[in-house]
């Protein structure tokens, strides 16, 4: 399915009203499942915005339809998806529409491709890695000859940090391999042609950041502001509840040299020959003040769209057309992720009954949301399954107030977790 997050409906409307640009949105339903009433209502509402709103049984049907668009000389179309796993399909559509694209359309879908291109261009801008075509042939001795503990292990084609592990010792390595082997075998049962590669990466110390930017057909880059990402390692040492936050604020601009950042982004774009797309770039500022790419993804949407809009009045898709965009901060913005284990957990019930009301009373409160995740997936800082995740948005012109409101959330979570554990 190629789809757009419901949260950026207003941006799609802006593209249509202000710039007369339509957005391709389709979905492929091989199993022809019935759609719920709620989803149908949303689809009816959104079909007024999107140029394509129809079901395709196969990828070939979709590509054939795209050819008909090209034959009609309808080039005023933006092709987009927030899911990196669908980037190859979307780039195929762009190619059919005669839009200039990356030399390698698998760049965002296969992390191995990224590593090869970045290291070939300049090993100083990324992390070193080893590739294993067969998980059963992974050799810990070969790994330790190239990397020290800790190191990272991940499948090459999954997205959203799914099944990514940080390995600190032999025991953790054996556990990760056992779990990944189960996942790989399960996928092979469902797809006989499936052949997942495993990547081992050196672990890079330092602070984690992300930055989003648009790269036009001539490889000119339009940068947003960098965002500081705080993970479990920065905040907690608790196994049964997880929290991470992303924050956009002025101090970040002083933490990273702007010229160094611009040169770093340019090197990544040149290395991977990226054109006509948005890039969500995850990187670290190391203890030696080097910038190192962790991952390049193809997306901009969801909370990040809200972040740019609320923090400094920027709708990122305007980078496609507006040459006079200036990104001046209006206020500080924080996005907090919470990952309970199961719906039935005590902490989930406690949050649902008590904590939501307290959060809504905070001066910086903007939004709170609970969503179901894809069951059976993990992100790297979790140790158990989860079915739901929470998101809390805070926004304020006063950074100290924003920080105080976040500390209220953090401290209350910590105290109640410890109480329940006892």
CATH number at residue 251: 3.30.470.20
Q: Is the pLDDT of residue 15 over 60?
A: yes
Structural domain includes residue 189 = yes
For residue 49, the model assigns a pLDDT of 39
Beta partners for residue 277, in sequence order = 215
Q: Which of 147, 88, 146, 148 is nearest to 113 (CA)?
A: 88
State whether 73 and 148 are in the same domain: no
Confirm if 381 and 244 have CB atoms less than 8 A apart: yes
Structural domain includes residue 117 = no
Which domain does 245 fall in, by range? 207-421
State whether 240 and 278 are in the same domain: yes
In the listed set 202, 220, 241, which residue is the last one of a domain according to the structure? 202
β-strand pairing of 27-28 with 55-56: parallel
Sign of CA dihedral 305, 307, 312, 313: positive
State whether 223 and 324 are in the same domain: yes
Beta partners for residue 367, in sequence order = 393
For residue 53, what is the domain's CATH number?
3.40.50
Query: Which run of H or E residues covers position 308?
Result: helix 303-312
Q: Is the pLDDT of residue 29 over 60?
A: no
For residue 3, the model assigns a pLDDT of 41
For residue 411, the model assigns a pLDDT of 82
| 3-class DSSP state of 380 | coil
Which pair of tokens denotes residue 157? 């084609």
How many Cβ atoms from other residues are within 10 Å of residue 27's Cβ?
15
Which range (58-67, 183-192, 223-232, 281-290) has the least confidence? Answer: 183-192
Packing angle of the helix pair 87-96, 59-71 (nearest 10 deg)? 30
Alpha helix stretches (DSSP H) within 32-169: 37-46, 59-71, 87-96, 111-121, 140-146
> How far is Cα 409 from Cα 364, in angstroms, rounded to an integer?
12
Confirm if 214 and 278 have CB atoms less than 8 A apart: yes
State whether 273 and 406 are in the same domain: yes
Confirm if 288 and 304 have CB atoms less than 8 A apart: no
Structural domain includes residue 122 = no
Structural domain includes residue 119 = no
> How far is Cα 47 from Cα 210, in angstroms, rounded to an integer?
32
For residue 140, what is the domain's CATH number?
3.30.1490.20
Instruction: Indicate the pLDDT class of residue 348, thresholds 50, 70 and 90.
Output: low
Packing angle of the helix pair 258-272, 111-121 (nearest 10 deg)? 110
Confirm if 149 and 168 have CB atoms less than 8 A apart: yes
Count: domains in the chain: 3
Q: Which residues contact 31 (CB under 8 A, 6 or more apart)?
A: none
State whether 188 and 330 are in the same domain: no
In the listed set 146, 168, 202, which residue is the last one of a domain according to the structure? 202
State whether 67 and 151 are in the same domain: no
β-strand pairing of 221-223 with 207-215: antiparallel
Structural domain includes residue 135 = yes
For residue 179, the model assigns a pLDDT of 82
Query: Which run of H or E residues covers position 272?
Result: helix 258-272
As a whole number, mean pLDDT of residues 166-178 equals 89
Which pair of tokens denotes residue 329? 């901060």
Which pair of tokens denotes residue 366? 């903007």
Structural domain includes residue 110 = no
State whether 196 and 173 are in the same domain: yes
In the listed set 96, 120, 143, which residue is the last one of a domain according to the structure? 96
State whether 239 and 255 are in the same domain: yes
Structural domain includes residue 111 = no
State whether 273 and 410 are in the same domain: yes
> How far is Cα 304 from Cα 309, in angstroms, rounded to an integer?
9
> How far is Cα 79 from Cα 57, in angstroms, rounded to an integer?
19
Structural domain includes residue 285 = yes
For residue 91, the model assigns a pLDDT of 84
Task: Give per-residue pLDDT as tens, 315-332.
Answer: 777 787 777 777 788 899
> How far is Cα 364 from Cα 393, in angstroms, rounded to an integer?
8
State whether 212 and 350 are in the same domain: yes
What mean pLDDT, rounded, does the chain reach? 76
State whether 228 and 362 are in the same domain: yes
For residue 308, the model assigns a pLDDT of 87
219: left (phi over 0), alpha (psi -120 to 50) or beta: left
State whether 149 and 247 are in the same domain: no
């Amino acid at each position: 399915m190629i789809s757009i997050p419901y949260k950026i409906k207003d941006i799609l409307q802006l593209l249509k009203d202000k710039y007369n640009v339509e957005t391709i949105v389709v979905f492929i339903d091989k199993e022809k499942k019935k759609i719920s009433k709620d989803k149908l209502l949303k689809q009816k509402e959104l079909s007024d915005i999107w140029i394509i709103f129809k079901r395709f049984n196969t990828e070939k049907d979709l590509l054939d339809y795209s050819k008909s668009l090209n034959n009609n000389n309808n080039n005023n179309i933006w092709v987009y998806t927030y899911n990196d796993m669908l980037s190859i399909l979307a780039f195929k559509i762009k190619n059919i529409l005669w839009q200039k694209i990356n030399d390698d359309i698998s760049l965002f879908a296969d992390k191995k491709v990224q590593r090869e291109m970045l290291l070939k261009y300049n090993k100083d801008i990324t992390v070193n890695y080893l590739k294993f075509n067969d998980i059963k042939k992974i050799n810990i001795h070969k790994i330790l000859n190239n990397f020290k503990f800790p190191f990272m292990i991940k499948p090459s084609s999954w997205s959203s940090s799914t099944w990514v592990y940080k390995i600190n010792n032999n025991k953790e390595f054996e556990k990760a391999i056992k779990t990944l082997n189960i996942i790989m075998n399960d996928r092979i049962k469902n797809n006989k042609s499936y052949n997942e590669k495993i990547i081992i990466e050196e672990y890079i110390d330092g602070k984690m950041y992300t930055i989003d930017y648009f790269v036009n057909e001539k490889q000119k880059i339009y940068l947003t502001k960098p965002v500081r990402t705080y993970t479990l390692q920065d905040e907690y040492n608790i196994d049964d509840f997880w929290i991470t936050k992303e924050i956009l604020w002025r101090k970040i601009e002083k933490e990273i040299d702007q010229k160094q950042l611009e040169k770093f982004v340019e090197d990544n774009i040149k290395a991977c020959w990226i054109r006509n797309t948005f890039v969500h770039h995850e990187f670290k500022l190391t203890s030696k003040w080097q910038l190192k790419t962790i991952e390049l993804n193809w997306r901009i949407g969801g909370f990040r769209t809200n972040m740019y809009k609320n923090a400094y009045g920027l709708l990122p898709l305007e980078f496609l057309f507006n040459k006079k965009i200036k990104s001046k901060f209006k206020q500080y913005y924080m996005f907090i992720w919470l990952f309970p284990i199961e719906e039935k957990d005590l902490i989930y019930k406690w949050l649902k009954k008590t904590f939501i009301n307290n959060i809504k009373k905070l001066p910086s409160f903007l939004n709170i949301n609970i969503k179901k995740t894809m069951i059976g997936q993990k992100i790297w800082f979790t140790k158990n399954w989860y079915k739901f995740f929470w998101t809390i948005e805070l926004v304020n012109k006063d950074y100290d107030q924003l920080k105080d409101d976040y500390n209220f959330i953090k401290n209350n979570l910590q105290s109640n977790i410890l109480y329940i554990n006892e």
